[in-house]
Amino acid sequence: MSPPISRRAITFVEVGPRDGLQNEKTLIGTADKLELVRRSIAAGAKRIEVTSFVNPKRVPQMADADEVCAGLPDVEGVSYIGLVLNARGAERAIATGRLHELGAVCVSTDGFAIANQGQTSDESVVAAKAILAMAKAAGVKGQATIGAAFGCPFEGEVSQDRVVAMAMSLAQANPIEIALADTIGVADPAHVSRLVRRVVEAIGPIPVRVHFHNTRGTGIANVWAAIEAGATVVDAALGGLGGCPFAPGAAGNVSSEDVVYMLHRAGVETAMDLPALIEANHWLAEVMGRKLPGMVAQAPAFPKPVQE
Ligand code: ZN
């Protein structure tokens, strides 16, 4: 039997520098991206998705991937993750010599996979497994994400059997973990609970990571449902930045501060420092020139800090 949730700990992954910023129209300078990485580390993040190696014409915000990697500070115990979609991206990521993990992505439906990566869903699984093999050969950890695992902007509902089968296929390539991503923010907690449970059963002992967008307000509830169902790694982005081009609307990733607040109040360890995250939120809001979607950083501290 698994321990009660109140005595569990999860691993927190900060995805703000990549997924948070990726679709921002204003180009953020490399120095600010590196400052975001530094502040995430100062707030306790041990795994940070720092950039992606994609076509800069399609994703201009990530055009400085090499410069970002060159500027990453060496910090004991901190792993940097680079997202890659194909072999060329994996070669570029490995060549930086600065990344501890490659993140491969495949997509649950043909409609989304063709729009996003110009390949079918099956082809995206083959490509992800090839990236995992490249990472292994280069002595870098490899993990894989199943995109649109809870719903597709083109095809609508996604079959849970399909997602479980993809996870089992990816598991053959021995990733350090497999993530289920609600890329367009349509999941609900009951769906999350069922699918996470099934994938945990199918691929254990490989850990399951979850990635939620708060497009329809269900993001934080989905995080809770996923942890109860056995997910042990959670993605979040500082301030809740990170819209998806296929999901118009303001909301982005679940916010790091909101996730950490919820989990700490509920007795789940994250090793993150909430006041440092809130301070980082206020810094990032200034860089972006607007209030960020995350809610905890806009509210008074609770419980009230004790005055010395
Ligand atoms: Zn995302």
- Residue numbers of the domain that contains 98: 5-298
Establish if 308 belongs to a structural domain.
no
* pLDDT per position as a tens digit, 40-66: 999 999 999 999 999 999 899 999 999
Is 305 domain-assigned? no
Q: Which pLDDT score is estimated for 117? A: 85
- Residue 182: phi, psi to the nearest 5? -95, 75
Residues tagged active-site: 244
Q: Per-residue pLDDT averaged across 78-107, rounded?
A: 97
Residue 107 CA, ligand 1 centroid: distance in Å: 12
281 Cα to the center of ligand 1, angstroms? 19
| pLDDT tens track for 10-43 | 999 999 999 999 988 889 999 999 999 999 999 9
- Is pLDDT of 6 > 60? no
* 238 CA → ligand 1 middle, Å: 13
- In a 10 Å sphere around its CB, with 0-12 CB exposed, 13-18 middle and 19+ buried, how is residue 42 labelled? middle
Name residue 253's beta-bridge partners: 213
Q: Which helix (H) or strand (E) holds 113?
A: helix 110-117
- Of residues 3 and 157, the one with the higher pLDDT is 157
* Residue 161 Cα to ligand 1 middle (Å): 22
Query: What is the C-alpha to C-alpha distance for residues 240 and 31, in angstroms, rounded to an integer?
Result: 20
106: β partners:
146
Q: How far apart are CA 252 and CA 216, in angstroms?
A: 10
Residue 194 C-alpha to ligand 1 middle, in angstroms? 21
The amino acid occupying position 76 is E
Nearest to 32 by CA among 299, 291, 289: 289
φ/ψ of 213, rounded to 5, equals -110, 145
Give tens-digit pLDDT for 251-291.
799 999 999 999 999 999 999 999 999 999 999 999 999 99
Locate tokens 């995430």: which residue? Answer: 40
| CA proximity to 231, closest of 174, 183, 189 | 189
Q: Is residue 304 part of a domain?
A: no
- Res 97: pLDDT: 98
Residue 5's pLDDT is 61
Residues 6+ apart with CB under 8 A from 80: 37, 48, 50, 69, 72, 98, 99, 100, 101
* Domain contains 185: yes
163: Cβ contacts below 8 Å, ≥ 6 apart: 108, 146, 149, 180, 195, 199
Distance CA 182, CA 223 (A): 11
Does the residue 10 lie in any domain?
yes
Q: How far is the CA of 228 from the centre of ligand 1 (A)?
A: 21
Contact between residue 55 and residue 83 where contact means Cβ atoms under 8 Å apart: no
Q: Indicate whether 177 belongs to any domain.
A: yes
Place of tokens 């994996």: 90
Looking at residue 109, its pLDDT comes to 98
Q: Is residue 279 part of a domain?
A: yes
Q: Could you tell me if residue 121 is inside a domain?
A: yes
Is the pLDDT confidence value at 1 over 60? no
Quick one: pLDDT at residue 2? 58
CATH number at residue 231: 3.20.20.70
Residue 217 CA to ligand 1 centre (angstroms) = 15
pLDDT single digits (tens) 160-195:
999 999 999 999 999 999 999 999 999 999 999 999
Quick check: bond before 205 cis, omega within 30?
yes
The one-letter code for the residue type at 43 is A
Q: Which stretch of DSSP H or E encloses residue 70?
A: helix 65-71
H-state helical runs in 204-273: 219-228, 256-265
Residue 73 has pLDDT above 80, yes or no: yes
How much distance in Å is there from the Cα of 72 to the middle of ligand 1? 22
- Cβ-based neighbour number of residue 35 at 10 Å: 18
pLDDT of residue 263: 97
Ligand 1 midpoint to CA 15 (Å):
8
Side-chain half-sphere of 21: how many Cα atoms within 13 Å?
A: 29
pLDDT in tens, 130-157: 999 999 999 999 999 999 999 999 999 9
Distance from C-alpha of 182 to C-alpha of 184, rounded to nearest angstrom: 6
Q: How far is the CA of 29 from the centre of ligand 1 (A)?
A: 21
**How many domains, in total, are found in the chain?**
1
Q: Is the pLDDT of residue 244 over 80?
A: no
Backbone angles phi, psi at 302, to 5 degrees: -145, 130
C-alpha triplet 9, 13, 19: angle, nearest 5°:
150
